[in-house]
Amino acid sequence: MDTASSPDLTIDFRLSEDMELLKGSVRDFARSEILPFVMKYDEAQEFPAPIFRKMADLGFLGATIPPELEGAGLSPLHFVIIMEELSRVDPSIGLTLAAHSGLCLQHIALWGNADQQQKYVPDLATGRKIGSWCLTEPGSGSDASGMKTTAVADGDSYVLTGSKSFITNGSYASTYVVTAKTDQSKGNKGISAFIVERSMKGVNVGKKENKLGMRASDTVVMMFDEVRVPKANLIGREGEGFRQALVVLESGRIGIAALSVGLAQGALDAAAKYAKERQAFGKTLAEFQGIQFKLADMATQIAAARLLTYRAAQTKIQGEPVARLAAQAKLFASEVAQRAATEAVQIHGGYGFIKDFPVEKFYRDVKLLTIGEGTSEVLRMVIAKNLLQE
Ligand SMILES: Cc1cc2nc3c(=O)[nH]c(=O)nc-3n(C[C@H](O)[C@H](O)[C@H](O)COP(=O)(O)OP(=O)(O)OC[C@H]3O[C@@H](n4cnc5c(N)ncnc54)[C@H](O)[C@@H]3O)c2cc1C
């Protein structure tokens, strides 16, 4: 065959040298700075402020933000690696990062004008301020366009009123991206997005949720009581908020896919270690084929989920449409993680039910992953709609 004129048939699945270095350093950070405190923050349901501060110092929060705005100037694939390695040790740290960087910061970086970016992005990218993203309401989650929060133009402000549920980082945030209806007659084209500051009168933190898992991540109801938001804080134009949110969720879902891969890998690591140590019937568990098959299936599914997640991030880097791939990566990886966490507990037997072993926490944390940023049902709807339109 004439190789000079033949097409390049290689696909390089390796991470670049700097990605491998990043992976190693996030791994070391997670083991030394997060692992010793995982259960402390989980039991207390406490936001891990010192860990968040250290992540900020290492540039994790503003990973994909350009250096001019005090970010690290890395790619979405680098962000995936950070998310994966943190979540391998503590998925609730991953969720905190997903809400701060993947949603709030991304929304302003993607859709904010130059003034908004200058004013808000550097503080969020460096962790001087914490961010939240407020879409879900008590009466509308999957059907986000059914939101009731309103923003009524009044002079040089909008008056924003309503409440938002399940808001990650809400108690600790200073900067909120909030969606509200500016025109009730236009359905989702009547939704706009605003940057709201904690210091604005009428911004109140409501009930703190007592959760099954992801307990170190803060989840609260946010209440907005006739908050006067300057018109300068409208992101983009009136009516663009819903579309902006959908695009933000595309990259957000890649982040949750990475979180899922990390959690699944953490569960597999723990299960394999335990299987090599635990004795039954005069052998280690790892010597039984029934256990080996479980580990083999977990490893295979995780490898597939990782590839799909990296491909979604790579597609985003290439600037190609990513809605379907992002939904597929999140759907597949979260369901792989759920199976991995279940099998990891099973391999631990009774000890998997006890808080001394990390799989107990993975099993609780994992349930959020098939719900947040699009339930598995909603993602199947997104994927089907996308493929039927082709
Ligand atoms: C820990 C945690 C953190 C969160 N963080 C945030 C955050 O920071 N910001 C934010 O805005 N939101 C956040 N959320 C909200 C989250 O995104 C929603 O919970 C999620 O979108 C689902 O909405 P819902 O809870 O209202 O469920 P619903 O929409 O009421 O759905 C209930 C069930 O019905 C199914 N369903 C709904 N519609 C259909 C349909 N058409 N066909 C088939 N099945 C359907 C769903 O898949 C689900 O199984 C968080 C949630 C949790 C639990």
Residue 4 belongs to a domain: no
Residue 304 belongs to a domain: yes
Residue 333 belongs to a domain: yes
**In a mutational test of the pocket of ligand 1, which residue from 214, 224, 370, 371 has the highest number of ligand atoms less than 8 Å from its CB?**
371
Give CA separation, 144 vs 179, 241, 253, 340, 378, in Å.
Answer: 10, 11, 16, 30, 11
Q: Measured between alpha carbons, how far is 322 from 216 in angstroms, rounded to an integer?
A: 30
Q: What is the CATH number of the domain that holds 168?
A: 2.40.110.10
362: number of Cβ within 10 Å? 29
Q: Measured between alpha carbons, how far is 65 from 101 in angstroms, rounded to an integer?
A: 9
Closest ligand 1 atom to residue 170 Cα is 8
Residue 208 belongs to a domain: yes
**Inter-axis angle of helices 241-277 and 289-317, nearest 10:** 150
Residue 164 belongs to a domain: yes
Q: Are residues 165 and 184 in the same domain?
A: yes
Q: Are residues 258 and 325 in the same domain?
A: yes
Let me know: does 71 contact 106? Beta carbons within 8 Å: no
Name the phi and psi angles at 181, rounded to 5.
-85, 120
Name the phi and psi angles at 324, rounded to 5.
-70, -45
Q: Measured between alpha carbons, how far is 63 from 126 in angstroms, rounded to an integer?
A: 10
Answer yes or no: is the C-beta of 97 below 6 A from any ligand 1 atom: no
- Distance in Å, CA 378 to ligand 1 centroid: 9
Kindly give, in sequence order, each residue whose CB lies less than 8 Å from that of residue 74, ignoring residues fewer than 6 positions away: 22, 59, 63, 64
Let me know: does 272 contact 286? Beta carbons within 8 Å: yes
* CA 140 from centre of chain: 20
- Distance in Å, CA 322 to ligand 1 centroid: 21
Task: Write down the pLDDT at residue 259.
Answer: 98
Please provide the distance, in angstroms rounded to a whole number, between the alpha carbons at the two ends of the chain: 36
Low-confidence ranges of the chain (pLDDT < 70): 1-5
233 closest CA partner among 211, 200, 271, 260: 200
Tokens 């670049």 correspond to what residue? 16
Coil, helix or strand at residue 374: coil
Q: Are residues 58 and 163 in the same domain?
A: no
pTM over 0.85: yes
- Distance in Å, CA 344 to ligand 1 centroid: 26
Q: Are residues 271 and 371 in the same domain?
A: yes
Q: Measured between alpha carbons, how far is 110 from 293 in angstroms, rounded to an integer?
A: 44
238, 373, 377, 390: the active-site residue: 373
Q: Measured between alpha carbons, how far is 316 from 325 in angstroms, rounded to an integer?
A: 9
Q: Are residues 215 and 350 in the same domain?
A: no
DSSP 173-197: -SEEEEEEES-GGGGGGGEEEEEEE
Closest ligand 1 atom to residue 376 Cα is 47
**In a mutational test of the pocket of ligand 1, which residue from 166, 207, 382 has the highest number of ligand atoms less than 8 Å from its CB?**
166
Residue 2 belongs to a domain: no
Per-residue pLDDT reduced to its tens digit, 357-380: 999 999 999 999 999 999 999 999
Which residue, 209, 239, 269, sits at the end of a domain?
239
284 secondary structure, DSSP code: E
Which residue, 182, 209, 239, sits at the end of a domain?
239
Residue 12 belongs to a domain: no
Which residue, 103, 125, 147, sits at the end of a domain?
125
Answer yes or no: is the C-beta of 166 below 6 A from any ligand 1 atom: yes
Q: What is the CATH number of the domain that holds 35?
A: 1.10.540.10
Kindly give, in sequence order, each residue whose CB lies less than 8 Å from that of residue 24, ignoring residues fewer than 6 positions away: none
Q: Are residues 164 and 222 in the same domain?
A: yes
Answer yes or no: is the C-beta of 92 below 6 A from any ligand 1 atom: no
Kindly give, in sequence order, each residue whose CB lies less than 8 Å from that of residue 184, ignoring residues fewer than 6 positions away: 150, 190
351 secondary structure, DSSP code: G
Closest ligand 1 atom to residue 143 Cα is 29
Told to judge if 85 belongs to the known catalytic residues of this protein, a careful annotator would answer no
Q: Are residues 248 and 234 in the same domain?
A: no
Q: Measured between alpha carbons, how far is 321 from 329 in angstroms, rounded to an integer?
A: 14
Domains in the chain, number: 3
Let me know: does 60 contact 97? Beta carbons within 8 Å: yes
Answer yes or no: is the C-beta of 377 below 6 A from any ligand 1 atom: yes
Q: Are residues 248 and 371 in the same domain?
A: yes
DSSP 44-99: HT---HHHHHHHHHTT-TTTTS-GGGTS----HHHHHHHHHHHHHH-HHHHHHHII
Task: Write down the pLDDT at residue 3.
Answer: 52
Closest C-alpha to ligand 1, atom 45: 377
Q: Are residues 121 and 159 in the same domain?
A: no
Q: Are residues 264 and 379 in the same domain?
A: yes
Structural domain range at position 97 = 17-125
Closest C-alpha to ligand 1, atom 38: 142
Q: Measured between alpha carbons, how far is 336 from 387 in angstroms, rounded to an integer?
A: 22
Q: Are residues 192 and 249 in the same domain?
A: no
Residue 8 belongs to a domain: no
Q: Are residues 139 and 249 in the same domain?
A: no
333 closest CA partner among 357, 312, 354, 358: 312
Q: What is the CATH number of the domain that holds 297?
A: 1.20.140.10
- Distance in Å, CA 188 to ligand 1 centroid: 17
